[in-house]
Structure 1
């Protein structure tokens, strides 16, 4: 039997370069287990993920979602010039470099050292240096009221067990009137197969089943976790954190965009939403 190659994290890699799943389950997963698994998974997956999606993400671009919505066009954050901005789940930090180029004072945060290593390399190659911080989104190492804007483009929130705790941290570090914008997997994706083919738009599980999706390695160890919340769950989490909900966006597919991205595709995007964007503000 041919052994799978492994990453420096010790996770076996599949032929596509991503960590290989030995098994898939649906079961409860706590915050610590989620964080450990997803840190290792993203450390191992960073090269394959950026090889696959790096050209779309760009080095100095702010892409909100696979539908192709960009901050250049959306203006969800408002005028960022001179504002203190925190990006949560920055990955290779193209959004943070876009913000820095737009005149913001940025801090880019991620759980994954593998992603942050790529971010540091791109800081050097682009000449746009943003401070990089490795930390858990549920325990932001920033002072109360120290941030004007917080944002997250598919960064962290789908992978945390306690979204309410993360949102409470966001509310804590935002200044009164500060803005928070985050894009996440649209909850409607959950009951359908993970396929870009519109022929696969059939309900295979309950929209209301919040049991996390878990991948394990050949030894049964948890290597990847994704958490599901309904639209109502997201609204209650935002309000429960003391934030004021301003808007919920469901971006439509950008005309002329042809890229498939996992479950997202032009054909499927014409039928159902794939992304939910939460726009909120700190009270005051």
Structure 2
């Protein structure tokens, strides 16, 4: 699961007005950002994600929803599974322990390196890790039974509709596609886990990408916003059926904050949306 904290707690989640940011710029910026931040990301979140334990773990979201409990992918034993935007691949490592035949992709070589190191450290079955852009998946048509993304590539690409089409292409008829993302309504609120994060700051319909720039004005990080309706249309345009949208509630016993996610905010509105889809037979 990849869930960056692009804004500091005392600054609003406010997109810089730079106009549209296309695929090439988004890819370059986010690859570099994740390569540079991979060490700090794992220092802060590795234990929660199960990245540092034998066999990994599969956590869908900061609300701590585990695939072992949710079963959103169905029975994976003996199935071919593709993870899109895997980070260091703790989800794919866990699926391998459940009998799945897994391949995982990510844009960042730095993140993939952590996955390779973990599998070597624990002497695990090697899950193939492929460096790839989610807008152009390097796999043949109808290669996989299941595809998923846990806070992976979908918000970080300029053309997420193409991601949906690519997933539909590599899935077999009847295949399953499940992806979790920041809940689209989260876009309206500052990245603050406290009371200031409960005040609307940005229009829900403002699709200007959130971006960060360095001192020279070079874009170093990009996150793209789509509404719930946008996501539904992307799924339908790819020829898939939307079976469900899961909005996990914040557990009463979870006190941990993750960036802007917190027990306070979680008690008022969802932080995660999980889209469950099927490719028609």
TM-based fold match above 0.5: yes
The reply to whether residue 226 of structure 1 matches residue 238 of structure 2 is no
Deviation at 1:107, TM superposition (A): 0.2
Whole-angstrom distance in 2 between the partners of 1:198 and 1:236: 33
Alpha-carbon contact 1:24-1:216 (below 8 Å) kept: no
Deviation at 1:123, TM superposition (A): 1.1
Whole-angstrom distance in 1 between the partners of 2:197 and 2:274: 24
1:184 maps to 181
1:102 maps to 98
1:268 maps to 265
Displaced runs of 4+ in structure 1, greater than 4 A? none
Match of 2:134 among 126, 134, 137: 137
Deviation at 1:205, TM superposition (A): 1.1
SS at match of 2:188: coil
Alpha-carbon contact 1:252-1:269 (below 8 Å) kept: yes
Alpha-carbon contact 1:69-1:254 (below 8 Å) kept: no
Deviation at 1:259, TM superposition (A): 1.2
Which stretch shows the higher mean deviation, 219-228 or 117-126? 117-126
1:212 maps to 209
Whole-angstrom distance in 1 between the partners of 2:123 and 2:207: 43
Whole-angstrom distance in 1 between the partners of 2:86 and 2:222: 18
Match of 1:63 among 59, 63, 67: 59
Alpha-carbon contact 2:136-2:166 (below 8 Å) kept: yes
Alpha-carbon contact 2:15-2:208 (below 8 Å) kept: no
1:37 maps to 29
1:8 maps to none
Q: Which runs of 5+ in 1 are unaligned?
A: 1-15, 17-22
Alpha-carbon contact 2:81-2:145 (below 8 Å) kept: yes
Match of 1:52 among 39, 44, 47: 44
Deviation at 1:199, TM superposition (A): 3.9
SS at match of 1:224: strand
Q: 1:196-207 alignment to 2 at 5 Å?
A: 196-207=193-204
- When the two structures are aligned, how many residues end up with a matched partner? 263
Whole-angstrom distance in 1 between the partners of 2:255 and 2:97: 28
TM-score (norm 2): 0.92
Whole-angstrom distance in 2 between the partners of 1:223 and 1:48: 16
The reply to whether residue 84 of structure 1 matches residue 76 of structure 2 is no
Aligned pair in 2 of structure 1 residues 53, 46: CA closer, same or farther (>3 Å)? same
What do residues 140-160 of structure 1 show as CA deviations (whole Å, max 9, x unaligned)?
000100100000000010101
Whole-angstrom distance in 2 between the partners of 1:255 and 1:134: 38
1:26 maps to 17
Alpha-carbon contact 1:189-1:274 (below 8 Å) kept: yes
SS at match of 2:278: strand
Q: Which runs of 5+ in 2 are unaligned?
A: 1-7, 9-13
Whole-angstrom distance in 2 between the partners of 1:246 and 1:130: 29
Q: Please report the RMSD computed on the Cα atoms of aligned residues, expressed in angstroms.
A: 1.3
